Structure 1
């Protein structure tokens, strides 16, 4: 990381990047976490054919509870208490030809309070021809004074699909902490064989603009998004189907087609993480049945 912040994920983080950290500096052991997973199709179905991790990431192999006969699951684990200031995480997940993989986290990602620098995660997902990836981590919880940037890039080959979900909780709600974080920025980009498909960015700075204002989150606290990326499928019908599937959920939900016939985005707003997760899971399950003729895997992680 350059001292002048030129490597910051966005200009708004450049000033943070120049702040030294008195404990473990950026780049110190345990600060630059790397996760590299590759799934491949074998005679027995999908297998994890390569994995490499550094602290704070850990994987313990695969689970075979996916309803899809060729699918497999990996839960990303962490022995730490959360993401701290100065952490830089890099996640790479590749799904090979005709493989079916589901990747999630063991528990919520806790972005700890910060008074110096910031934390970031850069995630690159790729799916080869005929493959499918479900990337559905547990919620991200933004503690008071957290500064966090995440950047996710998805690359699809022809006839491949992916479902990406993200739930953001703006504080430790049980103790009355709401929108006390300093800055949160999340960007999702997708590319297909012919070029860019869509880009979606969320940038929240409570001190500059009240997230509960009309046109932002309004009366709601927790928000979530699910991207059903399927460029080779009929988009309008899929959008209508998912909108109908989530219409009666406790969370406020809706679905709309993505640009360039890339698929569908489902958004959900609620007062609790559980209601938002339930709405997105309904959309995930319905989309998976449409794309793979198989239900979403069980969310049980204990």
Structure 2
């Protein structure tokens, strides 16, 4: 597993994949979803939205002043050549939680192509976005590029949790996919404050080696960015990791996890295990700790689990 850091002017995942597809004469199928969230009478609402099949906003739930949004994908998942582009704009003071209905399933790809998703988040002053998608499932021979770009204004809060599965393990798939690329870029008032690049190519890398994946198979990350963050929030998350490491989930599937401050205005949690569900449980605990410790909010109750 290779972690890479690039300058802001490097070629993006989106540009690279478009170039590859064009080179082999295979245009990507682009599906778009754009939504703007605003505040009125103390409640966040959808000010405008636009989508093209197969993705759309299925449900929006007003909860205690914020809005919970569920994204629906009416296709079997990301097929070869699919590209999803989602733009999320939060106006000043808006508060939205975004999730999807089920695992993001990435189907087999043709050589030199694959599928991708690009999400951009624009947060105005004091806006809050909690992006909590279900895990990513990479099928055998899948190739997937995932890119997120975040722009923050003063007082804004952006958090996101991701869980990556090595394949359909109950069907004997484990690291049988072609490649996975993940990119996160965060700006605060037009200043680049964080850039993370990850590339996993199972056939080219020795993932089972110590210092890499070793016996672990599933990965999870949680990111929190805001100028509201202090060392007290880092301590809260470290305590939560220590507490979670001794529970029943950890006894059945060991979890390795750590938390650290980023260069500026950020906290990152990274975890690994041998199943998705204990990592989902950990991400939920971390999320709830951030909601209470940073936002003064109780856990959202419409989610299962």
Structure 2 length-normalised TM: 0.88
| Whole-angstrom distance in 2 between the partners of 1:60 and 1:83 | 18
CA pair 155-7 structure 1, distance change in 2 beyond 3 A: closer
Residue number in structure 1 paired with 2:46: 48
| Structure 1: runs of 5 or more not aligned | 1-5
Distance apart, 1:16 and its partner CA? 6.0
Aligned pair 1:19/2:27, yes or no? no
CA displacement at 1:149 relative to structure 2: 0.7
TM-score by length of 1: 0.88
Check the 8 A contact 1:179/1:211 in 2, yes or no: no
Indicate whether 1:133 and 2:137 are aligned.
Answer: no
Matched residue SS, 1:59:
strand
Matches of 1:215 and 1:268, distance apart in 2: 14
1:295 aligns with 2:291: no
Residues 90 and 122 of structure 2 are in contact (CA less than 8 Å); yes or no, is this contact kept in structure 1?
yes
User: Whose strand fraction is larger, Structure 1's or Structure 2's?
Assistant: 2
Using the alignment, how far apart are the partners of 1:85 and 1:207 within structure 2? 19
Deviation of 1:20 after TM superposition, in Å, equals: 4.0
Instruction: Give ranges in structure 2 of 5+ residues lacking alignment.
Output: 1-10, 245-249
Shift of 1:94: 1.0
Question: Following TM superposition, by how much is the alpha carbon of 1:9 offset from its aligned partner in structure 2, in angstroms?
Answer: 3.4
1:136-164 CA-partner distances (Å, limit 9, x unpaired):
11011011111111110011000111111
Partner of 1:279: 282
1:187-241 per-position Cα deviation (integer Å, ceiling 9, x unaligned): 001000150111111100111102222222221111010101122321x221121
Deviation at 1:301, TM superposition (A): 6.0
Matched, 1:70 2:70: no
SS in 2 for 1:196: strand
Query: 2-side partners of 1:301 and 1:77: how far apart?
Result: 16
Mapped partners of 2:22, 2:304: distance in 1: 35
Contact 1:268 / 1:280 at 8 angstroms: preserved in 2?
Answer: no
2:240 to 235, 245, 257: 245
Q: Does 1:267 align with 2:270?
A: yes
Secondary structure class of the residue paired with 1:58? strand
Instruction: Tell me the SS of whatever aligns to 1:74.
Output: strand
For 1:59, the equivalent position in structure 2 comes to 57
Q: Which residue of 2 aligns with 1:3?
A: none
Q: Deviations over 1:9-36 (max 9, x none)?
A: 3759955653345xxxx24xxx211010
2:110: which partner in 1? Answer: 115
Distance 1:201 1:295, change over 3 A: farther
CA RMSD of aligned residues (A): 2.1
User: Paired residue for 1:93, among 88, 113, 119?
Assistant: 88
The SS at the match of 1:133 is strand
Instruction: Tell me the equivalent position of 1:213.
Output: 209
Which runs of 4 or more aligned residues in structure 1 lie more than 3 Å from their structure 2 counterparts after TM superposition?
A: 6-17
